[in-house]
Structure 1
Amino acid sequence: MDERVSEHAEVLVDWSARVEAGDDVVLAVAEGSHDLAVAVAEELGDRGANVVTVYDSDEVDRAYKLAHDGDFDADPGHELALYRNADVVLRLGRGRNTAAEADVPGETEQAYRRRRQEIREARMDTDWVSTVHPSRSLAQQAGMSYEAYRDFVYDAVLRDWESLAEEMAQMKERLDAGSEVRIESGDDEITMRVDGRTAVNSAASVAYDSHNLPSGEVFTAPYATEGSLTFDVPMTIQSRRVRNARLVFEDGEVVDYSAETGEDALRDVLETDEGARRLGELGIGMNRGIDRVTDNILFDEKMGDTVHLAVGRAYDACLPDGEQGNDSAVHVDLISDVSEDSRLLVDGEVVQRNGTFRWEDGFESS
């Protein structure tokens, strides 16, 4: 076995999830992640954690959703109890076919998500972390050889997270102190309020309110969004390819949308519920170890030279205690390349120009 698999498992258990003796852990294992699951189980056993392993398969989910009449029970108790009693949830994705659920009707997917909100909330109340094991299906989706893709994944995962956290803290400080963020990119301009919010320094650890490995972004929960933005980084949404999506906002809500391809997938997301037409997240990619688009949101949204907006649910970590942010059964990220003809401003100050941050070499002040 590649020794980097064991290193990946150690980072996941120690740095990311901070697992301790006696923790009750749910380990969700996708079809292509067996080797990583074995390494993670060894790490969990070494720390004296209690583990329940579940099979996390897109193909199994597809079969169930297509066979069901669509009138799903709300939050089945046996599954809800599993996550309500868990301390940690580790999800090791993805499967053998990245488009396994492409033929699940949009209305079926919407109904399934709407009826599982308490389960989703219970899972997100744990110290949950998602990661991926490099698989041939993901390499194919990224347009890379399997060998090159493995190197890419481990370059993004096995890095000095403490140093990156220190760098990203500069972006967090500006967002925390700011009131308005403006993104100018090509012919688009979009503004949003961030005052009263707390930005998350997403350094791949629950200690930073961060739940992805790899990570490398700073994100917050914006509101009062106005304007438009084009999302020119292609991605797969609900197993369907989406290219050059564009959203137009008025009074904080999507009032118009389009996409060069995959507009039906975008429509299905926006029609899930009322909250799906409002923003739940503004994210700024800062992981320079991710240097190419791979059609995998776990990596692409963290890439330097990008920003992303997510329609749907806002994360509680960004909100004041007791305040309810945007609520939705979905949280879907859309990514924009800001490496050229782009500026990111906080309260009128240019923080990033053409992908380069103010504190990086090569930043042009004007």
Structure 2
Amino acid sequence: MDERVREHAAVLVDWSARIETGDDVVVSVAEDAHELGVAVAEALGERGANVTTLYGSDELSRAYLKGAESEGRDFDDDPAVDRAIFETADAYLRIGGGRNTTATADVNRETRQAYAKARKGVREARMDTDWVSTVHPTRSLAQQAGMAYEEYQEFVYNAVLRDWEALAEEMAEMKAILDAGDEVRIVTERDEAPDTDVSMSIAGRTAVNSAASVAYDSHNLPSGEVFTAPYATEGEVFFDVPMTIDATRVRDVHLVFEDGEVVDFDAETGAEALASVLDTDPGARRLGELGIGMNRGIDRFTDSILFDEKMGDTVHLAVGRAYDACLPEGESGNDSAVHVDMITDVSERSRLEVDGELVQRDGTFRWEDGFDD
């Protein structure tokens, strides 16, 4: 076994999930993530945790959904067995790495949407655990990223095997700025595409220093972003980083906000998939997240939101559900069955302001070398 696999497992179990002796841990392992699954199981055994394993297969999900679709059946709300698994778990570790990144592409979009709505209770129970999601570098993901397999392995481990304590200290500065701020404005200028000029309120919100650990209210490995839950959004934003939404390639998204809600939208490709997301429920047309990428170990776009949204020189906005960690106790944020991130490159001709003060220019933060150049 590649020693980096064991290092990945150790980061996941120790730094990210903070597993302790006696913890009940649910581990979901995708088809081609077996090697990392084995390393994680070994690490959990060494730490004295109790383990339940699930087979996280998109191909199995496709078969189930196609079968249900052929019979025209409805989905049971809140499946009791699935919900019970997570209600009794201390932690949930999801190890992605399937055989086909578009395995469910031929499932009717309405079927996928209905299934997601029906499982909202399961999703809530899962998110109440100390959950962490990561991926094992696989050939299908390498192909999606446009890389050789060995090249992609190097990319993944550069993003995952970081000095997370040092990065957490740097991101704490961005968190402090957002926590003290009332309004964020993002501006970018494009020669051959719509400009971005969008403002949003963050007053009363708490930013998350997403340092790849539940100790920081962070649930992705790799991570490396600071995010919060905005509201009262006004203006327009252009997302120039391609992405896959609902198994559909989406490119060059333009959203227009009024009174906090998307009132107009377009996309060069994948507009139908975008429309389906926005029509999921009322909360799907409002923002649930503003995220600022700060992981400079991620140096290219790979059509994987797990990596792309954490990349330095990017900002992302998500329509849909807001994370409770960003909200005052007892307050409900934007609620939706979806949470879909979209990314814009801010490495050139851009600025990010908090309460009118410049925090980032052309991808460089004001505490970094080169900001004053």
TM-score by shorter chain over 0.5? yes
Aligned to 1:150: 153
Q: Residues 1-366 of structure 1 correspond to what in structure 2 (within 5 A)?
A: 1-68=1-68, 69-186=72-189, 187-364=195-372
Q: SS in structure 2 opposite 1:260?
A: strand
Gaps of 5+ in 1: none
Query: Helix, strand or coil for the counterpart of 1:224?
Result: strand
CA distance in 1, matches of 2:347, 2:5: 32
Displacement of 1:94 in angstroms is 2.4
Contact kept, 8 Å, 1:139 with 1:146, in 2: the verdict is yes
2:128 maps to a residue whose letter is: D
Read off the aligned partner of 1:172 and give its amino acid letter.
K
CA deviation digits over 1:306-329, x for unaligned, max 9? 000000100000000000010111
Shift of 1:224: 0.2
Aligned residue for 1:21, secondary structure, equals: coil
The whole-number CA distance in structure 2 between the counterparts of 1:102 and 1:148 is 27
Deviation of the 1:102 alpha carbon: 1.2
Q: CA deviation at 1:70?
A: 4.6
Distance in 2 (CA, whole Å) between partners of 1:53 and 1:79 is 13
User: Are 1:70 and 1:111, in contact at CA under 8 Å, matched by a contact in 2?
Assistant: no
CA contact (8 A) 1:353 1:364 kept: no
One-letter identity of the residue aligned with 1:161 = W
How far apart are the structure 2 equivalents of 1:112 and 1:350? 43
Find the aligned partners of 1:233 and 1:105 in 2 and give their Cα distance: 26
Secondary structure of 1:344's partner? strand
Tell me, in whole angstroms, the C-alpha distance in 2 between the residues paired with 1:103 and 1:278. 28
Q: Which amino acid is 2:199 matched to? A: T
Q: Which amino acid in the other structure matches residue 248 of structure 1? A: V
For residues 231 and 70 of structure 1, the distance between their equivalents in structure 2, rounded to whole angstroms, comes to: 37
Unaligned residue ranges in structure 2 (runs of 5+): 190-194
Give 1:74's aligned amino acid: D
Structure 2 CA distance for aligned equivalents of residues 163 and 242 of structure 1: 35
Q: Counterpart of 1:251 in structure 2: which amino acid? A: D
Q: Distance in 2 between matches of 1:110 and 1:335?
A: 23
**Partner in structure 1 of residue 192 of structure 2:** none
Specify the code of the residue in structure 2 equivalent to 1:67: G
TM-score by length of 2: 0.97
Gap change, CA 1:267 and 1:356, over 3 Å in 2: same
Instruction: Give the letter aligned to residue 249 of structure 2.
Output: R
Deviation at 1:364, TM superposition (A): 3.1
When the two chains are superposed, the root-mean-square deviation of aligned CA atoms in Å is: 0.8
Q: CA deviation at 1:238?
A: 1.4
CA distance in 1, matches of 2:161, 2:23: 24
Q: Determine the C-alpha separation between the residues in 2 that align with 1:334 and 1:38.
A: 33
- Structure 1 SS opposite 2:269: coil
Q: Is the 8 A contact 1:59 1:101 kept in 2?
A: yes
The 8 Å contact of residues 232 and 337 in structure 1, kept in 2 or not, is answered as: yes
Moved over 6 A (4+): none
Q: What is the DSSP-based 3-state SS (H/G/I as helix, E as strand, rest coil) of the residue aligned with 2:144?
A: helix
Q: Percent identity?
A: 73
> What TM-score, normalized to structure 1?
0.99
Q: Deviations over 1:200-247 (max 9, x none)?
A: 000000000000000000000000000111110001111111100111
What count of residue pairs does the alignment treat as equivalent? Answer: 365
